[in-house]
Structure 1
Amino acid sequence: MPSAPPPDWVLARRRAVGDRIRELRTWRNLTQERLAERADMDRQAVNRIEQAHQAPGLDSLIRIAEALDVPLAELVRDV
């Protein structure tokens, strides 16, 4: 049985996290491809996270934070 979609407030926060990752990535002058390489992920995964089409797991957030050279908390700041 498929699970129910997340509530709107969860989706809004997921979008905010994706926006923050994109903001930090562009501030670091990285492409999605380069961020993916540094985080040992594929570019499509980075794109899905930034576009809020995929809920990132904790491991992915840790990898992204490390690749962006920011504390993990920075990815969810003000969310």
Structure 2
Amino acid sequence: MADKMTKGEREDLQREIAALEQKAFTEIERASVEAQTQSAVAGLTSEAALAFFVSLPTIEGLMPELSYQGLPAMQSRRSSSRF
């Protein structure tokens, strides 16, 4: 069947997913540090705290849900570019 991937292709996709996750975790950590810094600087006055927290990106915005539907298309592009 054409839907089956080789072990190497699965490993490639697993590495790509791991890289996407690591990028998202790094961005979340960066946003956390920025949040802590801004909170300390603002002294957490109620208006400043509210404006700051409203401006924070959502977790979903930083790490969107992984779509496994796009993986076969990525695999197809990779396979065709190897030749």
Larger Rg: 2
TM-score bin, normalised by smaller chain: 0.3 to 0.5
